[in-house]
């Protein structure tokens, strides 16, 4: 561990600034800081949950509670996290206004209010929701995180809230982990590209001057959160140092460089060090190496976890000192304003240097200045697009491009007059289309938005002959509890149908409550599918799930399989349009869909893991035994690739490789195709990955149409982090591939970078 004195100095930005400094912003920060008392400074570093301020109705602020929290403790931030309740825009705005008025009266410094906006205005009962991030990743279309980010910021600001805890960029590289659906999938490049687009869309182009239609992001969860050894949420991860730098840091690096103003820290630990006291990552990698002057906020009560879970601190005082000295700037201590007094004690005793305290306070103030909160703690602005038809159209379009056709033996599109049995526990549920962080933490969407269609309702509106027998239902408070008493009735109904649409998957969950012990789809749902298939009627499986549940034993029984994941409020309408053939599928998997419980891996596995390796000869187009590989997705049309070309066959470290490929629609109907470019390093000083995604573009093609897709690939993107922790691009051969086409290129020099970030 670094000493407190060194850490205090380490928090000051050094070197090139990730966010260019603004002299007016800095002057305002210094002026406010100069006039603050120790008590006011301590309060700025603490964030509490709205529940500590609400009255018994939960729809308004209790004035006495507000006076205590703001007047006595000088708390500088509030967040809105509730398990079973959410507020309208109007109520939220009224509550925030009241908080701000008290903060300006008692402290003279605005409070900053934050909301967990994961896929749109997810904590406003009347806001707009988009498909979850995992669905946006499946579109391989950068437009959709831009559209969602813009709407998210706009609608959050409409509720007088200037801070959103999004985007999520934890690499979803272990399908057991219950938060995969919050992220953009398993690949670092895809994650970085999509998260960067969302970050800029939320904040706007100038992070020093954020207007009333944009908000500050909190990119999360920094970092390595998504690969716990146990597969369970908030449990330890073991990550090789080169992978941590090369893969897990990549999306955060892209967003820091794009101007992300805040970041939320990983709740768990990496290689035995809780991230909330990991000075190397928090102060070293981010604040020193990037010269980043933003704010690091803890996750929920995680400073307490340093002593009550991780046992690296003896008590609260030691835990707070460890976290702040490591680089934490704001402590999310949701229910305990006494954390303010703990900080005061630690500063007075010298356990937190005054320089570190002031640096943290500067970062909080800087955020508030950049958001314009000192000039307008509250604002009057109409926000005419709130919950608009425009946002609804965007959400529907994103859902259309995100749902993935994984198998089709000719049953799809469904015939117009087919007699359709709709069955399964997800068939008549809106909450399962939305998932967690939808109106409430665990996703009780059905209680708030009955105006949207479930899969059953959407199919009833599209097809004239639809019957319903659930077969299996979700039961009780436990998201895994199921009632299979209706299977016999569903089988009886199936005998009178032409086709069975079985909607299976998961009930809603979020975070630790979503932990599970078996990645297989539930036994009761599998029993339903097996008995339905035994009728001899064709079965279309609709997978509605937050992670790839194993279905290897029932997939052969299906005539078609569609993975809709969590497509949100318009997901069922999109599915009906796709199943009918009114629209065409174009989604592709942003994760590897595993087939076996003991074979969970990602597409970029090491060449030495390849099961088909023979005498050192590698087949770079082969894959392990998976259900469906990363990037897989079918269409109602067919695409052909030809003429993959690289402008120059040799390159050096500073070059940009110009790659082109011709893509043709050789089918009979229009379609969209995500064109994915991969690289393979054939010989390296560390065992290379079998391949890595290096570029993607989404194109539309009419039947018979051909387009040339061009990529510009910086040679430095082909570098990797070596055993010495430094980035290196080594002389030798590389294979570029796209759509079954391949081209060889050669690097003619070896370059090792001294800088930790390239």
**Helix or strand run (H / E) with residue 679:** strand 671-681
Of residues 601, 626, 632, 616, the one with CA closest to residue 683: 616
Cα angle at 757 between 754 and 758, to 5 degrees? 85
CA quadruple 54, 117, 12, 361: dihedral, nearest 10:
-20
Q: Are 606 and 620 in contact (CB under 8 A)?
A: no
Per the DSSP assignment, residues forming a β-bridge with 77 are 47, 112
Task: State how far the Cα of 418 lies from the Cα of 586, in Å rounded to an integer.
Answer: 24
**Strand pairing class (112-115; 473-474):** unpaired
3-state secondary structure of 7: helix
CA 345 to chain centre: 37
Task: State how far the Cα of 106 lies from the Cα of 157, in Å rounded to an integer.
Answer: 24
Task: State how far the Cα of 295 lies from the Cα of 366, in Å rounded to an integer.
Answer: 9
Tell me the DSSP string of 706-730. Answer: EEEEEEEEEGGGG-EE-TTS-EEE-
299 has catalytic annotation:
yes
Catalytic choice (299, 310, 359, 604): 299
Task: State how far the Cα of 571 lies from the Cα of 584, in Å rounded to an integer.
Answer: 14
Cα angle at 166 between 449 and 39, to 5 degrees? 110
Task: State how far the Cα of 488 lies from the Cα of 483, in Å rounded to an integer.
Answer: 12
Q: Are 70 and 102 in contact (CB under 8 A)?
A: yes
User: Is the Cα dihedral 80, 85, 86, 92 positive or negative?
Assistant: negative
Residues in the chain: 758
- List strands edge to edge, sheet with 720-721: 720-721, 727-729, 751-752
CA quadruple 573, 575, 577, 578: dihedral, nearest 10:
160
Active site residues: 299
């Amino acid at each position: 561990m670094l000493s407190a004195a060194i850490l205090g100095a380490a928090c000051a930005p050094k070197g090139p600034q990730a966010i260019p400094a603004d002299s007016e912003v800095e002057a305002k920060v210094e002026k406010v800081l100069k006039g603050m008392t120790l008590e006011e400074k301590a309060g700025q570093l603490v964030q509490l949950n709205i529940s500590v301020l609400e009255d018994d109705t939960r729809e308004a602020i209790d004035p006495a509670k507000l006076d205590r929290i703001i007047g006595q403790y000088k708390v500088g931030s509030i967040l809105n996290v509730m398990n079973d309740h959410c507020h309208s825009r109007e109520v939220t705005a009224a509550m925030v206004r009241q908080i701000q008025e008290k903060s300006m009266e008692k402290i003279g410094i605005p409070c900053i209010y934050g909301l967990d906006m994961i896929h749109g205005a997810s904590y406003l009962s009347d806001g707009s929701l988009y498909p979850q991030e995992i669905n946006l990743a499946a579109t391989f279309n950068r437009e959709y995180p831009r559209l969602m980010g813009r709407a998210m910021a706009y609608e959050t600001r409409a509720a007088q809230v200037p801070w959103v805890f999004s985007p999520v960029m934890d690499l979803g590289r272990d399908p057991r982990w219950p938060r995969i659906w919050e992220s953009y999938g398993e690949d670092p490049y895809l994650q970085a590209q999509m998260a960067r687009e969302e970050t800029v869309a939320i904040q706007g182009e100038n992070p020093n001057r954020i207007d009333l239609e944009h908000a500050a992001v909190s990119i999360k969860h920094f970092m390595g959160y998504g690969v716990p050894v146990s597969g369970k949420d908030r449990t330890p991860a073991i990550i090789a140092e080169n992978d941590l730098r090369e893969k897990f840091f990549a999306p955060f690096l892209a967003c820091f460089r794009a101007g992300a103003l805040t970041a939320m820290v990983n709740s768990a630990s990496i290689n035995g060090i809780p991230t909330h006291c990991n000075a190397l990552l928090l102060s070293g990698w981010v604040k020193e190496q990037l010269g980043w002057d933003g704010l690091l906020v803890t996750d929920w009560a995680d400073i307490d976890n340093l002593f009550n879970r991780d046992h690296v601190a003896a008590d609260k005082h030691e835990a707070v000192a460890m976290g702040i000295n490591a680089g934490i700037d704001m402590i999310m201590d949701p229910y305990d304003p006494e954390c303010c007094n703990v900080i005061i004690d630690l500063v007075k005793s010298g356990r937190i240097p005054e320089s570190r305290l002031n640096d943290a306070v500067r970062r909080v103030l800087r955020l508030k200045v950049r958001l314009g909160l000192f000039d307008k703690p509250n604002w009057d602005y109409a926000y005419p697009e709130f919950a608009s038809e425009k946002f609804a159209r965007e959400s529907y379009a994103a859902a259309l491009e995100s749902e993935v056709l994984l198998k089709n033996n000719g049953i799809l599109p469904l015939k117009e007059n087919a007699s359709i049995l709709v069955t399964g526990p997800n068939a008549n549920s809106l909450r399962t289309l939305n998932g967690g962080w939808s109106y409430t933490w665990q996703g009780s969407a059905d209680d708030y938005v009955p105006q949207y269609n479930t899969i059953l309702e959407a199919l009833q509106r599209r097809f004239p002959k639809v019957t319903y027998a659930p077969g299996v239902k979700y039961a009780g408070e436990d998201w895994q509890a199921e009632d299979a008493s209706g299977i016999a009735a569903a089988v009886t109904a199936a005998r009178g149908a032409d086709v069975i649409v079985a909607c299976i998957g998961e009930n809603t969950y979020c975070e630790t409550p979503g932990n599970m012990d078996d990645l297989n789809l539930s036994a009761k749902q599998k029993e339903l599918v097996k008995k339905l298939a035994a009728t001899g009627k064709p079965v279309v499986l609709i997978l509605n799930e937050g992670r790839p549940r194993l279905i290897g034993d029932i997939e052969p029984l299906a005539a078609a399989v569609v993975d809709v994941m969590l497509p949100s409020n318009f997901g069922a309408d999109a599915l009906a349009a796709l199943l009918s053939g009114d629209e065409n599928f174009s989604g592709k998997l942003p994760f590897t869909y595993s087939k076996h419980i003991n074979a969970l891996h990602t597409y970029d596995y090491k060449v030495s893991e390849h099961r088909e390796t023979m005498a050192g000869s590698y087949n770079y187009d082969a894959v392990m035994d998976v259900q469906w590989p990363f990037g897989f997705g079918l269409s109602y049309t067919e695409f052909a690739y030809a003429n993959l070309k690289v402008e120059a066959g040799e390159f050096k470290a500073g070059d940009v490789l110009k790659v082109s490929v011709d893509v043709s629609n050789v089918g009979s109907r229009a379609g969209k195709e995500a064109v994915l470019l991969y690289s393979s390093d054939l010989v390296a000083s560390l065992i290379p990955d079998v391949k890595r995604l290096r570029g993607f573009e989404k194109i539309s093609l009419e039947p018979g149409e051909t387009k040339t897709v061009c990529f510009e690939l910086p040679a430095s993107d082909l570098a990797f982090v070596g055993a010495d922790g430094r980035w290196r691009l080594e002389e030798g051969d590389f294979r570029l591939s796209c759509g079954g086409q391949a081209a060889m290129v050669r690097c003619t020099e070896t370059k090792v970078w001294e800088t930790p970030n390239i």
